[in-house]
Amino acid sequence: MRPCSTVMHLLLRCMRGCGRHSRSRMPRRLRQPVSYIKLIFKSLYFNSLTNSEVVLDCILEPVFWTVEVVTRWFGMVFVFLVVALTSSVVFIAYFCLLPLVLQTYSLGWMMWHICYGNWILVMIVFHYYKATNTPPGYPPKMKNEVPFVSFCKKCVIPKPARSHHCGICKTCILKMDHHCPWLNNCVGHYNHRYFFSFCLFLTLGCMYCSISGRNLFIDAYNAIDQFRHLEAEKQGVPVTGIGLLIGIVPSEGVAGKGVQEISQPPYTYNDRMFHKSVIYMWVLTSTVSVALGALTLWHAVLITRGETSIERHINNKEAKRLAKRGKVYRNPFSYGKLNNWKVFFGVEKRSHWLTRVLLPSGHTPYGDGLTWDIYPLKKDMMPV
């Protein structure tokens, strides 16, 4: 650290000397940026705790600031995209595919598609609305007796356990997982369940559309390809001799030579739009089911371990630090694999797996997000 501090001192002396001679000549609008640069240099050697990570954070600070500003300003755009894309798939399902189901499927399959499709749709809409409109939870800003583990330098308030500062929302969040641009909201203590349920049911809905619409997609693609070749052949009729190469002999000229034209059914605008809609729905739902399915699986692993996305990174660093000392790190907020899911979904009895997990439910999560003594003895207290 001494060579680094010496270099910083020399740079500051040069800047200080230049500043004394040019202070009178420097425009006022440049004085503040120059002072800010000096402050950055001073912060790099302010104490002995400065390391490569601190320097890297200072260098990448403009990048972080740009990402935060873009995410903040385009949050409503992302929400609009989610609503628009979901609505387009629902429109195609109801006005293009549902009439086909009613005409071709048996009564049993018809009831299955109608019941399952509408149940998935209700769960998606409910959880997305709750995830976007439910505040994630904020630590109290007034003095209180709640125990805290650190102090937020930006909010200037004590931070309870599992709380972190969000640069986009510009406040601390209880049990913060991440800031989701597709929700235009932070995922925290009070809306974490809504976010995961939305991802889960949207993945199931996209997989349902992708699997059930596979044959329709193949038929639609083949139909468009077939009629595209037919339209290309209408520009010239293949005949023998030179006409085969040129393709300029009209159909009337060869009708008397024994060439029989096969009349094709007309390919209307409605047929074209139907086939393109089926292809669009299948490609969109297949892509989302793969991408969102991977994200949902990752969050399921975190819930099983009793962690959030931020805590996963922190716990890994802590585990490596203790491993060097020959110790094993244990997550203090994990209550066992099954109990973690019960706490997450708020399951207190067997019927809650139906009423609180498989059906829309607006119940609040366990605790207030400030303390985490739900299972003091780490035992299975729920006979579920």
Residue 180 falls in the annotated catalytic set: yes
- AA letter at 16: R
346 and 365 Cβ atoms separated by less than 8 Å: yes
Query: DSSP letters along 254-311, please?
Result: HHTTT--PPPPPP--HHHHHHHHHHHHHHHHHHHHHHHHHHHHHHHHHHHHHT--HHH
Q: How many CB atoms lie within 10 A of CB 303?
A: 19
**Tokens encoding 17:** 């000397």
Cβ-contact 187, 176 below 8 angstroms = yes
Beta bridge partners of 172: 165
Tokens 């800003």, located at residue: 141
Q: Is residue 69 helix, strand or coil?
A: helix
Compute the distance between CA of residue 6 and CA of residue 3 in angstroms, rounded to an integer.
5
Phi-psi domain of 243 (left: phi exceeds 0; alpha: psi -120 through 50; beta: other): alpha
Structure tokens of 340?
């973690």
**Active-site choice (166, 169, 172, 180):** 180
Which amino acid would we find at residue 215? Answer: N
Which amino acids are annotated catalytic? 180
